[in-house]
Amino acid sequence: MKGLEKSVLKRVGTFQLAGEAQGLALVLPQALSFWGGVDVETGDIIDQSHPGLGGSVAGRILVMASGRGSSSSSSVLAEAIRRCTAPAGIILERPDPILAVGAIVAEFLYEISMPLVVCDISGIASGDRIAIGLGEDAQAMVSKF
């Protein structure tokens, strides 16, 4: 249709937590721990050793290969979701049970859903507009426009 951009990337993935989200991608070249790595009040990356230091995950589609440790990351993610300082969605190459627990707890306690998807992240760059949606057979659909 005239005026609509064509999708330049479509991926099928697996939901760790189903949902829909849109936003600008924030691609991190290194795993990020929410515990000690993200300011829950602002969504800013505060890990002094992380290459994303000073950036913000708030409202973005966070893209990285995997999460990074501390089981406390799940509680920080859940609180960030409650405060609306969390990513709009997270896309990982490998499943992360710690981030999944945080997203599931936030959905259960606060009735706020933040999709968590596992799929190939190649070809996604920071600043790309990303949409996460529900595809056939409850698969995750990740599109870049």
Residues 117, 91 contacting (CB under 8 angstroms): yes
d(CA 94, CA 143): 18
Q: 134 phi and psi, to 5 degrees?
A: -95, 120
- Report DSSP state, residue 122: T
CB within 8 Å of 139: residues ≥ 6 apart = 12, 13, 14, 15
**Cα-flanking dihedrals φ and ψ of residue 80, to 5°?**
-65, -40
Catalytic member of 70, 113, 126, 143: 70
70 is catalytic: yes
Annotated active-site positions, please? 70
